[in-house]
Amino acid sequence: MILVHTVDDLREKVAAARRAGEKIGMVPTMGALHEGHLSLVRRSQLQCAVTVVSIFVNPTQFGPTEDFARYPRTLESDVEMLAGMENACAKIIVFAPSVEQMYPAGFSTFVEPGTAARVLEGERRPGHFRGVATVVLKLFLMAELDIAFFGQKDFQQVAVVRQMVRELNVPTEIVSCPIIREPDGLAMSSRNRYLSSEARGKAPVLYESLQIAQRLIAAGQREATVIRDEIFRVLTSVEGLRVDYVALAHPETLAPVGEIVGEVAILLAVWLENTRLIDNCVVTL
Ligand code: AMP
């Protein structure tokens, strides 16, 4: 495994792999790695001889009142986990740049993401997807890669990145990978470690509410408002939980859905204590 900290070093290592005819995959992360991240790395290793795993807590995607300062930074153990995953046919390059590497003094160029970024998370976290789109495009241009792997956990992020790649003609394939969950259903997240044991005990309700919604649809319910109301009811029955949003949306455009026909994404965000949790599922009729 190779650990690099500068853009020049990353370019050099990736260019050497390309010259050797190797396919390059990338898994962008903010570190504090868990099984969710590792599943993306494994997925990349199936297809790509070299996987670049970026570990960068990207300041431009955090709002002024968000958790940038307290976001967990565990580079040493992250690197250790990744070292254990490497094999001769599936090498790993870890790219862990400093903020100054990514955003040198005076940095002022940003990607303005498209319509998929303007609803849900985008409405509640102004500037978030502008930061995401900017850092993702920078990473794509630094590494000259073939495929990038993202988690469905951040459903809207994948939609925003897909739209950017399509509309800016970025020659990178985007692959979305399934959500990895704890045994009780809570989607794995670096932010779960913020939860007190009491809040952690309540957190599986997110997934439970999505499962109830899926069952309603399977039983024939097609009215988005009915399903949304039921998810709200289940979530708000938990003391101390505050719903940020529950939405039924078109899986690509994220436009709100009234009546369910074909595929629908159900997305939700809640606050438990001071921690914001998100989850989602896609239902296909
Ligand atoms: P993050 O470090 O939170 O920015 O996440 C890096 C990548 O890992 C993103 O593409 C996430 O969607 C993905 N990811 C995070 N948690 C999970 C999970 N529980 N299952 C699958 N992918 C995940």
Q: How confident is the model at residue 192 (pLDDT cuts 50, 70, 90)?
A: very high
Can you name the residues that pair with 40 across neighbouring β-strands? none
Say how far apart CA 115 and CA 122 lie, in whole Å: 10
Place 146 in a pLDDT band, splitting at 50, 70 and 90.
very high
User: Mean pLDDT throughout 148-161?
Assistant: 98
Q: Which two tokens stand for residue 166?
A: 């399509």
Cα distance between the two ends of the chain: 44
For ligand 1, mutation pick of 40, 175, 179, 279 (most atoms within 8 Å of CB): 40
279 strand-pairing partners: 268
- 29-52 mean pLDDT: 98
What 3 state SS string does 149-208 have?
EEEHHHHHHHHHHHHHHHHCCCCCEEEEECCCECCCCCECCHHHHHCCHHHHHHCCHHHH
Q: What single letter denotes the amino acid at residue 278?
A: I
Q: Which of the 8 DSSP states describes residue 278? A: E
For residue 143, the Cα-to-chain-centroid distance in whole angstroms is 19
pLDDT bucket at 269, cuts 50 / 70 / 90: very high
- The confidence score (pLDDT) of residue 76 equals 98
CA dihedral 278, 275, 42, 162 (to 10 degrees): 40
34 is catalytic: no
CB contact at 8 A, 178 and 57: no
Cβ within 8 Å of residue 225, ≥6 positions away: 258
The predicted model scores a pTM of 0.98
The predicted structure's pLDDT at residue 263: 97
44 pLDDT tier (thresholds 50, 70, 90): very high
Across the range 39-53, mean pLDDT stands at: 98
Q: How does DSSP classify residue 147?
A: E
Distances in whole angstroms, Cα of residue 91 to Cα of each of 40, 88, 97, 139, 196: 14, 6, 19, 18, 37
Average per-residue pLDDT for the chain: 98
What is the pLDDT, as a whole number, of residue 214?
Answer: 98
For ligand 1, residues with CB inside 6 Å are 29-30, 36-37, 39-40, 150-151, 153-154, 177, 179-180, 187-190
CA nearest 88: which of 38, 55, 50? Answer: 50
Span from the CA of 223 to the centroid of ligand 1 (angstroms): 30
In tens, the pLDDT along 194-245 reads 999 999 999 999 999 999 999 999 999 999 999 999 999 999 999 999 999 9
CA–centroid distance, residue 220 to ligand 1 (Å): 32
What is the chain's length? 285
Which two three-digit tokens encode residue 258? 């009234």
What is the strand order of the sheet 275-284 is part of?
241-249, 263-272, 275-284
pLDDT tens, position by position, 84-110: 999 999 999 999 999 999 999 999 999
Question: Which of 38, 170, 137, 171 is CA-nearest to residue 92?
Answer: 38
pLDDT (mean) for 60-68:
97
Closest ligand 1 atom number to CA of residue 190: 3
Position 129 scores a pLDDT of: 98
